[in-house]
Structure 1
Amino acid sequence: MTTWIVDVERDAGQLIAQVRDLPSAHTFGADFDELDAAVREVIALVLGLPEGEHDLDIAYAFPVPA
C-alpha cells in the first residue's frame, strides 16, 4: 500500500494541505478532522478511485516551529 505524505501548514486560520507525490492534489480545512476528510477525497478524485474508496494510508507532515 502506498503511504501518501501530506505537507500541512496554517494560513489565515485554515489548514492547507499538499500531497507530495500528487502536485494537483491540494485542499484545506478548518480543523484536522475536516482536513483529513478533504485530503482523502482529493486523493481519491485525482487517482480516479470509486466514490467512497477512501481507505488510504496517509502521513501528515507539519512544519517544526522555530
Structure 2
Amino acid sequence: MIALGAIPLHAQSQATTGVIEGTVVDESGASVPGATVTLKNTATNFERVVSTNADGRFRGLLLP
C-alpha cells in the first residue's frame, strides 16, 4: 500500500504518435483492394506507405 501512494494517480501521457484508418472507394462507392496509400506528416515530412486489404481498408500505426 505504501508503494501505491508514491505512484502519481493522474499521470499524463506525452504521446507523439497516432493512428490513421480509412477505406479507399472508387467513384461507384465500391471498395478498392490492394490500393497504395501514402500517409504524410506535413510538419515532419515523415511518410508511411500502406496498402488496403481485401475490403479496401487501411491502417497506419505509430505515425510520428
User: Please, what TM-score do these two structures have when normalized by structure 1?
Assistant: 0.28
Q: Which has the higher helix share?
A: 1
User: Please, what TM-score do these two structures have when normalized by structure 2?
Assistant: 0.28
Structure whose alpha-carbon radius of gyration is higher: 2
